[in-house]
Structure 1
């Protein structure tokens, strides 16, 4: 195909895109969101947008070919661009250097042997923020899935951003990474613990900046790749096994037949603060969460109890029955994530368990279960299964590894060799805990009028309310009560949100260092234990001993 024909074709496609864009401009914010979701998986739309974008760049760069003398002639006499081939005329970069260019001010990617500075291209990327997932990395896994990139036009466009070669030692085979290419973009402020699967906590000082954690800062706990789901096509099945098997299926639209419900609840990983147990006693297995694997949000949807009653679940006969939640996320062997809770917990009106579609007033983000998840307030966050696709009422608990071989607690003497997961009860609630978020351990703080201000969070599972938070400035000899508690106004036994607290600690004139201990007490009058030694366990879960930090004092 000649350059002239390419220009005519792509300009025509650009006009199509302009019409699409003009339509979108007239829509409300919500309609724009729905419109975007409707078009997101339309391969023809993506092709048109990609080609249209290319045409606009093409006009300015004259196909980018003039900047590259290298290439092979195809049968029509046009230059064939080979993207990613080694260029001896360009410098070589190590992967470590490329990885540093991972922001909107300097954004590099690699493709095969090539290194590309695509910073100026970011605002025009047809796939929007999806490109941010490749920040400082290879785009090969993405292109293996999004095959519309593999055209001469796009290859030429990519080569127009070429700045160098990737060092031979850093070139890897990306063919096994295709499961991860549809991962959502994440806020750079999150503290990443693992990339695949993605797990990240919220920085301590940002935790207390908002009572309801902004969606983009809510901590992320994944076990597998994030599934790419369409709200318009998604449904959830309710399966009742009580001698016979009955199945009802609900689209998201059909779920709207039930009364709307909401709950303000914190979700906390059972392994939150595991790093302290690991450091202060002995090693445990699991992600080394500090105190940031907890966040708070307002969740909206419909109550699980209403759906189960509608489906004919026997509310008078719950003994020995379980509710198995299965998500759409799948591991490498093709097994879906699932876990379960007792049926009586699911049917408890005070439990306020939701089938949630919204988070802080917006549709669930992909990382947090879009388009549907269950929220089990007061329980470890693992029970709040994301990307929910089925709910099964059964006499059996979930058979999954994550339910049978994880999220169970043992005493401090059990080892991996002696632990019997089958006899250890699953964790369905959480103990009282607290953490100091500001200042952080090792900070230098200014004493104003002889006082240091200390802030943090406290939380207890099962709907218990935080009654007070106590701070000791002298290793437990004396305790000062936090004089400000920010909590929700939920009814008794339904306090599922966290509590933010502030304490003002007097310091002596000339005092240079201060060690602070924090502990919380809930409405069941449960208080945190002092040390991790007696609650240590092989998985490092339920890590809720006093939180202790040391700070330097400036007068």
Structure 2
């Protein structure tokens, strides 16, 4: 790729925030403390979780960098950054969440394979860039197309990133053409994050943002876009990030029986408390985040201080001082909501949170019911143990 290269080792990694909890050093995978997530509706680039599969690419000549668009189309082309920036710029507030978020809790039920994420493999940012629908129109693909004249039905994104799972080849993923060409799906070729150019960890100089979909499909360090007839055949589409029932293990797995995971289910987590938290008896503010895939807003967040016997509804908000209405145009439909509720805690107990989206989807109660061998999509009720001490604290 002119202007950008994917290193073969980890000697030129970017600096990272010292508070990040490192789950894997090479490749670098890390998350912020859960308390950092609720300090702001928009997550800073420094504190946004880092999910990588290989060494971070290096840009050495931005003017030479371009993205090729080819495959089952009539007019293949190469676009430079100046071409992409000439298109209308859009900003989209969207939450990205790794499919493995909360994997550590799932692994306590039975061993799973993957990076051991706590509850912070998620973040919310304002992404800026060109709509993919506008980019594809430049190469002759009309908006709201579901197939090209040559039979392309999927849009594959190929990264500069090289990873061992692809035998040293590039990371890649795809989405349906109908989603890519729909302006309302807000799929971006993004070059900004929170009003600043992307940093290296988050895809500089150009990445894909697919709102409402697991983070694995928002390919970073974009190298090329291919119009293809079937879904991408890459490792992370065909042999990873698929949801299997608890009965499937590594001896009987058949990857072809499941579709690649796209939308993420409704999710919430308490961020104001750690897993075992010592507190004084009395009033306690419980706060966290809730988010649903597919642009579905959060209708309700329920919090229990008795392990799920009784519930209180939490206050939901995105912008402070502006009422959040789940399906209202004033709300950011691709973004999380933050929630808070003040509870009375008299003795040691389990505090639980669960969210409900506008389609009345609700988080499942037990992690055992959704256990899967890859440990993805742990959206079970989030539980935190609190230990109450008295006057000698």
TM over 0.5: yes
Residue 98 of structure 2 corresponds to residue 269 of structure 1: yes
Residue 331 of structure 2 corresponds to residue 503 of structure 1: no
Q: Is the 8 A contact 2:131 2:187 kept in 1?
A: yes
User: Runs of 4+ in structure 1 displaced over 4 angstroms?
Assistant: 314-317, 487-490
Q: Is the 8 A contact 1:463 1:493 kept in 2?
A: no
Q: Is the 8 A contact 1:464 1:494 kept in 2?
A: no
Q: Is the 8 A contact 1:284 1:539 kept in 2?
A: yes
- Greater mean alpha carbon deviation, residues 474-483 or residues 316-325: 316-325
- Greater mean alpha carbon deviation, residues 489-498 or residues 248-257: 489-498
How far apart are the structure 1 equivalents of 2:30 and 2:85?
A: 33
The alignment partner of 2:360 has SS state of coil
Cα distance, 1:344 vs structure 2? 1.0
Q: Is the 8 A contact 1:484 1:503 kept in 2?
A: no
Structure 1 residue aligned with 2:43: 213
How far apart are the structure 1 equivalents of 2:299 and 2:84?
A: 37
Structure 2 residue aligned with 1:278: 107
How far apart are the structure 1 equivalents of 2:125 and 2:288?
A: 17
Residue 275 of structure 2 corresponds to residue 441 of structure 1: yes
Unaligned 5+ residue runs, structure 2? none
The alignment partner of 1:253 has SS state of helix
Aligned counterparts, 1:13-52, within 5 A: none
- Greater mean alpha carbon deviation, residues 511-520 or residues 330-339: 330-339
Q: Is the 8 A contact 2:99 2:264 kept in 1?
A: yes
Q: Which has the bigger relative contact order, CA under 8 A and spacing at least 6?
A: 2
Structure 2 residue aligned with 1:233: 64
Structure 1 residue aligned with 2:137: 309
- Greater mean alpha carbon deviation, residues 484-493 or residues 186-195: 484-493
Name which of 62, 86, 99 aligns with 1:257: 86
Q: Is the 8 A contact 2:266 2:290 kept in 1?
A: yes
Q: Is the 8 A contact 1:240 1:313 kept in 2?
A: no
How far apart are the structure 1 equivalents of 2:349 and 2:78?
A: 59
Q: How many residues align?
A: 374
Structure 1 residue aligned with 2:283: 451
Cα distance, 1:486 vs structure 2? 3.0
Cα distance, 1:554 vs structure 2? 4.3
How far apart are the structure 2 equivalents of 1:248 and 1:241?
A: 12
Cα distance, 1:233 vs structure 2? 2.2
Q: Is the 8 A contact 1:431 1:461 kept in 2?
A: yes
The alignment partner of 1:534 has SS state of helix
CA RMSD of aligned residues (A): 2.2
Name which of 359, 365, 374 aligns with 1:530: 365
Residue 31 of structure 2 corresponds to residue 201 of structure 1: yes
The alignment partner of 2:300 has SS state of strand
**Deviation string, structure 1 residues 148-171 (Cα, Å, up to 9, x no partner):** xxxxxxxxxxxxxxxxxxxxxxxx
Cα distance, 1:348 vs structure 2? 2.1
Structure 2 residue aligned with 1:519: 354
**Deviation string, structure 1 residues 160-192 (Cα, Å, up to 9, x no partner):** xxxxxxxxxxxxxxxxx9611111111111000
Structure 1 residue aligned with 2:122: 294
Unaligned 5+ residue runs, structure 1? 1-37, 42-176
Aligned counterparts, 1:108-507, within 5 A: 179-230=9-60, 231-242=62-73, 246-279=75-108, 281-315=109-143, 317-318=145-146, 321-331=153-163, 333-447=167-281, 450-486=282-318, 491=329, 495-507=333-345
**Deviation string, structure 1 residues 459-496 (Cα, Å, up to 9, x no partner):** 11110111111011112211001134335787389611
How far apart are the structure 2 equivalents of 1:423 and 1:321?
A: 21
The alignment partner of 1:551 has SS state of strand
How far apart are the structure 1 equivalents of 2:213 and 2:316?
A: 26
Q: Is the 8 A contact 2:142 2:181 kept in 1?
A: no
Cα distance, 1:553 vs structure 2? 2.4
How far apart are the structure 2 equivalents of 1:413 and 1:475?
A: 27
Cα distance, 1:316 vs structure 2? 6.0
The alignment partner of 2:63 has SS state of coil
How far apart are the structure 2 equivalents of 1:334 and 1:412?
A: 31
Q: Is the 8 A contact 1:339 1:402 kept in 2?
A: yes
- 1:249 to 1:519, Cα distance in 2 relative to 1, 3 A: same
Normalising by structure 1, we get a TM-score of: 0.65
Structure 1 residue aligned with 2:383: 548
How far apart are the structure 2 equivalents of 1:215 and 1:295?
A: 9
Q: Is the 8 A contact 1:357 1:371 kept in 2?
A: yes
- 1:336 to 1:520, Cα distance in 2 relative to 1, 3 A: same
How far apart are the structure 2 equivalents of 1:334 and 1:287?
A: 20
How far apart are the structure 2 equivalents of 1:317 and 1:205?
A: 43
Q: Is the 8 A contact 1:350 1:494 kept in 2?
A: no
How far apart are the structure 1 equivalents of 2:316 and 2:372?
A: 34
How far apart are the structure 1 equivalents of 2:365 and 2:318?
A: 24
Q: Is the 8 A contact 1:468 1:522 kept in 2?
A: yes
Q: Is the 8 A contact 1:339 1:385 kept in 2?
A: yes
The alignment partner of 1:236 has SS state of strand
How far apart are the structure 2 equivalents of 1:286 and 1:474?
A: 32
